Structure 1
Amino acid sequence: MKVQIYHNPQCGTSRNTLAMIVASGETPEIIEYLQTPPTRERLGELISLLGIPPRALLREKGTPYEELNLGDASLTDEQLIDAMMAYPILINRPIVVTDKGARLCRPSELVLDLLPAPVTEFTKEDGEVIRHGGMPA
Protein backbone atom coordinates (compact mmCIF):
# COMPACT_ATOMS: atom_id res chain seq x y z
CA MET A 1 0.00 0.00 0.00
CA LYS A 2 1.23 3.46 -0.85
CA VAL A 3 1.44 5.94 2.01
CA GLN A 4 -1.53 8.32 1.95
CA ILE A 5 -1.64 11.69 3.67
CA TYR A 6 -4.76 13.77 4.07
CA HIS A 7 -2.97 17.09 3.88
CA ASN A 8 -3.56 20.80 4.26
CA PRO A 9 -0.56 22.72 2.87
CA GLN A 10 -1.54 25.74 5.03
CA CYS A 11 -0.96 23.71 8.22
CA GLY A 12 2.57 23.54 9.68
CA THR A 13 1.91 20.18 11.35
CA SER A 14 0.71 18.77 8.04
CA ARG A 15 3.74 20.18 6.17
CA ASN A 16 6.14 18.72 8.76
CA THR A 17 4.42 15.33 8.57
CA LEU A 18 4.65 15.29 4.78
CA ALA A 19 8.32 16.31 4.93
CA MET A 20 9.06 13.47 7.38
CA ILE A 21 7.37 10.98 5.05
CA VAL A 22 9.43 12.21 2.08
CA ALA A 23 12.66 12.32 4.14
CA SER A 24 11.99 8.67 5.02
CA GLY A 25 12.14 7.75 1.33
CA GLU A 26 8.42 7.48 0.67
CA THR A 27 6.50 9.06 -2.20
CA PRO A 28 3.07 9.48 -0.65
CA GLU A 29 -0.28 9.95 -2.26
CA ILE A 30 -1.11 13.49 -1.16
CA ILE A 31 -4.81 14.16 -0.74
CA GLU A 32 -5.50 17.85 -0.22
CA TYR A 33 -8.75 17.12 1.53
CA LEU A 34 -10.04 20.70 1.44
CA GLN A 35 -9.94 20.59 -2.38
CA THR A 36 -10.93 16.92 -2.66
CA PRO A 37 -12.86 15.95 0.49
CA PRO A 38 -13.26 12.27 1.30
CA THR A 39 -16.57 10.69 0.50
CA ARG A 40 -18.83 9.91 3.44
CA GLU A 41 -17.90 6.25 3.05
CA ARG A 42 -14.16 7.03 3.07
CA LEU A 43 -14.50 9.34 6.06
CA GLY A 44 -16.23 6.50 7.92
CA GLU A 45 -13.42 4.13 6.91
CA LEU A 46 -10.80 6.59 8.14
CA ILE A 47 -12.56 7.02 11.48
CA SER A 48 -12.71 3.24 11.81
CA LEU A 49 -9.03 2.82 10.86
CA LEU A 50 -8.06 5.51 13.36
CA GLY A 51 -10.06 3.72 16.05
CA ILE A 52 -11.51 6.97 17.36
CA PRO A 53 -15.02 8.39 17.62
CA PRO A 54 -15.96 11.08 15.08
CA ARG A 55 -15.83 13.75 17.80
CA ALA A 56 -12.10 13.05 18.28
CA LEU A 57 -11.49 13.93 14.61
CA LEU A 58 -13.17 17.33 14.83
CA ARG A 59 -10.95 20.38 14.54
CA GLU A 60 -12.06 23.43 16.51
CA LYS A 61 -9.44 26.09 15.75
CA GLY A 62 -10.05 28.07 12.57
CA THR A 63 -13.31 26.28 11.79
CA PRO A 64 -17.07 26.87 12.20
CA TYR A 65 -17.05 24.49 15.21
CA GLU A 66 -18.55 26.98 17.66
CA GLU A 67 -20.96 28.55 15.17
CA LEU A 68 -22.34 25.09 14.44
CA ASN A 69 -22.57 24.30 18.18
CA LEU A 70 -20.56 21.11 17.67
CA GLY A 71 -19.54 21.05 21.33
CA ASP A 72 -23.10 19.96 22.14
CA ALA A 73 -22.63 16.52 23.70
CA SER A 74 -26.10 15.43 22.53
CA LEU A 75 -25.04 15.44 18.87
CA THR A 76 -24.82 11.96 17.36
CA ASP A 77 -21.84 10.57 15.48
CA GLU A 78 -23.88 10.84 12.29
CA GLN A 79 -24.54 14.54 12.93
CA LEU A 80 -20.85 15.14 13.51
CA ILE A 81 -19.98 13.32 10.28
CA ASP A 82 -22.65 15.40 8.49
CA ALA A 83 -20.89 18.55 9.71
CA MET A 84 -17.49 17.28 8.52
CA MET A 85 -18.97 16.46 5.13
CA ALA A 86 -20.51 19.93 4.84
CA TYR A 87 -17.38 21.68 6.16
CA PRO A 88 -14.23 19.61 5.45
CA ILE A 89 -12.13 22.16 7.39
CA LEU A 90 -13.63 20.49 10.49
CA ILE A 91 -11.65 17.31 9.74
CA ASN A 92 -8.47 17.42 11.80
CA ARG A 93 -5.22 16.77 9.98
CA PRO A 94 -2.93 15.33 8.92
CA ILE A 95 -4.27 11.81 8.69
CA VAL A 96 -1.73 9.27 7.43
CA VAL A 97 -2.58 5.76 6.27
CA THR A 98 0.07 3.07 5.64
CA ASP A 99 0.34 -0.70 5.77
CA LYS A 100 1.11 -0.28 9.48
CA GLY A 101 -2.16 1.51 10.21
CA ALA A 102 -3.68 4.96 10.31
CA ARG A 103 -3.06 7.86 12.62
CA LEU A 104 -3.95 11.47 13.18
CA CYS A 105 -0.39 12.79 13.25
CA ARG A 106 -0.59 15.52 15.87
CA PRO A 107 2.22 15.98 16.72
CA SER A 108 3.78 15.33 13.33
CA GLU A 109 6.42 12.88 14.60
CA LEU A 110 3.67 10.33 15.26
CA VAL A 111 3.99 9.50 11.56
CA LEU A 112 7.40 7.91 12.09
CA ASP A 113 5.93 4.76 13.67
CA LEU A 114 3.81 4.24 10.55
CA LEU A 115 6.73 4.21 8.10
CA PRO A 116 8.78 1.16 7.08
CA ALA A 117 12.13 2.99 7.23
CA PRO A 118 11.60 6.23 9.14
CA VAL A 119 14.19 8.98 9.16
CA THR A 120 16.14 8.92 12.44
CA GLU A 121 16.51 12.70 12.72
CA PHE A 122 14.38 15.51 11.36
CA THR A 123 14.29 19.26 11.90
CA LYS A 124 10.80 20.75 11.89
CA GLU A 125 9.98 24.12 10.32
CA ASP A 126 10.23 25.78 13.74
CA GLY A 127 13.74 24.36 14.30
CA GLU A 128 12.71 21.61 16.73
CA VAL A 129 14.85 18.52 16.16
CA ILE A 130 13.09 15.16 16.30
CA ARG A 131 15.11 12.00 16.88
CA HIS A 132 13.53 8.62 16.33
CA GLY A 133 14.61 5.08 17.09
CA GLY A 134 15.90 5.42 20.63
CA MET A 135 18.18 8.36 19.98
CA PRO A 136 18.02 11.04 22.69
CA ALA A 137 16.61 14.40 21.61
Structure 2
Amino acid sequence: MIQIYHNPRCSKSRQGLQILEALNLDFEVVKYLDAPPTEKELAHIIKLLKITPMQLVRKGETLWKENYKGKDLSDKELIKALSEHPKLIERPIVIANGKAVIGRPPAQIKELF
Protein backbone atom coordinates (compact mmCIF):
# COMPACT_ATOMS: atom_id res chain seq x y z
CA MET A 1 0.00 0.00 0.00
CA ILE A 2 1.24 3.45 -0.93
CA GLN A 3 1.03 6.03 1.84
CA ILE A 4 1.48 9.78 1.82
CA TYR A 5 2.09 11.56 5.10
CA HIS A 6 0.17 14.69 4.29
CA ASN A 7 -0.49 18.11 5.76
CA PRO A 8 -3.37 19.73 3.82
CA ARG A 9 -2.13 23.22 4.77
CA CYS A 10 1.28 22.66 3.11
CA SER A 11 1.58 23.53 -0.59
CA LYS A 12 4.36 20.96 -1.19
CA SER A 13 2.23 18.30 0.45
CA ARG A 14 -0.77 19.23 -1.70
CA GLN A 15 1.46 19.06 -4.80
CA GLY A 16 2.65 15.62 -3.73
CA LEU A 17 -0.93 14.46 -3.40
CA GLN A 18 -1.67 15.77 -6.90
CA ILE A 19 1.28 13.81 -8.29
CA LEU A 20 -0.04 10.57 -6.81
CA GLU A 21 -3.53 11.33 -8.14
CA ALA A 22 -2.12 12.11 -11.61
CA LEU A 23 -0.27 8.77 -11.60
CA ASN A 24 -3.67 7.16 -10.95
CA LEU A 25 -2.36 5.16 -8.00
CA ASP A 26 -4.27 3.75 -5.06
CA PHE A 27 -2.89 5.29 -1.90
CA GLU A 28 -3.68 6.05 1.70
CA VAL A 29 -3.54 9.61 3.00
CA VAL A 30 -2.09 9.81 6.50
CA LYS A 31 -2.93 13.15 8.10
CA TYR A 32 -0.03 12.89 10.52
CA LEU A 33 -0.91 16.09 12.40
CA ASP A 34 -4.24 14.52 13.40
CA ALA A 35 -2.76 11.09 14.14
CA PRO A 36 0.95 11.52 14.87
CA PRO A 37 3.19 8.55 14.11
CA THR A 38 4.57 6.67 17.07
CA GLU A 39 8.27 6.64 17.82
CA LYS A 40 8.43 3.11 16.40
CA GLU A 41 6.66 4.19 13.19
CA LEU A 42 8.98 7.19 12.83
CA ALA A 43 12.06 5.03 13.30
CA HIS A 44 10.79 2.75 10.52
CA ILE A 45 10.07 5.71 8.20
CA ILE A 46 13.54 7.14 8.85
CA LYS A 47 15.06 3.76 8.00
CA LEU A 48 13.07 3.61 4.74
CA LEU A 49 14.16 7.16 3.89
CA LYS A 50 17.80 6.22 4.58
CA ILE A 51 18.36 9.44 6.52
CA THR A 52 19.15 10.49 10.05
CA PRO A 53 16.38 11.71 12.36
CA MET A 54 17.85 15.23 12.16
CA GLN A 55 17.28 15.22 8.38
CA LEU A 56 13.55 14.77 9.00
CA VAL A 57 13.31 17.88 11.19
CA ARG A 58 11.80 21.12 9.89
CA LYS A 59 14.45 23.37 11.36
CA GLY A 60 12.68 26.59 10.35
CA GLU A 61 9.73 25.94 12.66
CA THR A 62 9.46 28.28 15.63
CA LEU A 63 8.82 25.28 17.88
CA TRP A 64 12.22 23.85 16.85
CA LYS A 65 14.07 27.13 17.27
CA GLU A 66 12.59 27.85 20.71
CA ASN A 67 12.81 24.35 22.21
CA TYR A 68 15.44 22.24 20.48
CA LYS A 69 17.88 24.23 18.34
CA GLY A 70 21.44 24.04 19.60
CA LYS A 71 20.76 21.12 21.93
CA ASP A 72 22.77 17.93 21.58
CA LEU A 73 19.93 15.44 21.11
CA SER A 74 20.36 11.73 20.49
CA ASP A 75 18.52 10.07 17.60
CA LYS A 76 16.09 8.58 20.11
CA GLU A 77 15.41 12.01 21.63
CA LEU A 78 14.87 13.51 18.17
CA ILE A 79 12.42 10.78 17.22
CA LYS A 80 10.54 11.35 20.48
CA ALA A 81 10.37 15.10 19.77
CA LEU A 82 9.06 14.42 16.25
CA SER A 83 6.41 12.07 17.60
CA GLU A 84 5.32 14.55 20.27
CA HIS A 85 5.41 17.49 17.85
CA PRO A 86 4.53 16.18 14.37
CA LYS A 87 4.58 19.74 13.02
CA LEU A 88 8.37 19.33 13.04
CA ILE A 89 8.28 16.47 10.50
CA GLU A 90 9.33 17.30 6.93
CA ARG A 91 6.55 16.72 4.43
CA PRO A 92 5.21 15.15 2.40
CA ILE A 93 6.60 11.67 2.90
CA VAL A 94 5.55 8.99 0.43
CA ILE A 95 6.11 5.31 1.17
CA ALA A 96 5.79 2.63 -1.50
CA ASN A 97 7.28 -0.80 -2.19
CA GLY A 98 9.53 -0.76 0.87
CA LYS A 99 11.01 2.62 -0.04
CA ALA A 100 10.26 6.18 0.98
CA VAL A 101 10.98 9.70 -0.17
CA ILE A 102 10.44 13.20 1.15
CA GLY A 103 8.61 15.14 -1.55
CA ARG A 104 10.84 18.21 -1.51
CA PRO A 105 10.69 19.03 -4.30
CA PRO A 106 7.43 17.17 -4.95
CA ALA A 107 8.75 15.77 -8.25
CA GLN A 108 10.98 13.42 -6.20
CA ILE A 109 7.86 11.39 -5.48
CA LYS A 110 7.88 10.12 -9.07
CA GLU A 111 11.23 8.42 -8.39
CA LEU A 112 9.39 5.76 -6.38
CA PHE A 113 7.35 4.63 -9.41
> Which of the five TM-score ranges fits, normalised by the shorter chain?
over 0.9
- What fraction of aligned residue pairs are identical, expressed as a percent? 39
Partners in 2 of 1:31 and 1:58 — Cα distance?
Answer: 18
Q: What is the CA RMSD across the aligned residues, in angstroms?
A: 1.3
- Shift of residue 100, structure 1, vs aligned partner: 6.0
Letter in 2 for 1:40: E
Number of matched pairs: 113
Cross-structure match for 1:3: 2
In structure 2, the partner of 1:24 is 23
Of structures 1 and 2, the one with the larger relative CO (CA 8 A, separation 6+) is 2
Structure 1 residue aligned with 2:82: 84
Contact kept in structure 2, 1:94 and 1:104, CA below 8 Å = yes
CA contact (8 A) 1:63 1:89 kept: no
Instruction: Report the structure, 1 or 2, having the larger helix content.
Output: 2
Which ranges in structure 2 are unaligned for 5 or more consecutive residues? none
| 1:105 alignment counterpart | 103
Name stretches of at least 5 consecutive residues in structure 1 with no aligned partner. 116-137
Note if 1:64 corresponds to 2:63.
yes
Q: Give the whole-Å Cα distance in 2 for the aligned partners of 1:86 and 1:109.
A: 29
What secondary structure, in the 3-state scheme, does the structure 2 residue paired with 1:64 have?
helix
Compared with structure 1, are the counterparts of its residues 87 and 100 closer, same or farther at alpha carbon in structure 2 (3 Å cutoff)?
closer
- Structure whose alpha-carbon radius of gyration is higher: 1
Kindly tell me: are residues 96 and 86 of structure 1, through their superposed partners in 2, closer, same or farther at Cα, counting changes over 3 Å? Answer: same
Give the TM-score of the pair, scaled to structure 2: 0.93
What is the alpha-carbon distance in structure 1 between the residues aligned to residue 69 and residue 53 of structure 2?
Answer: 11
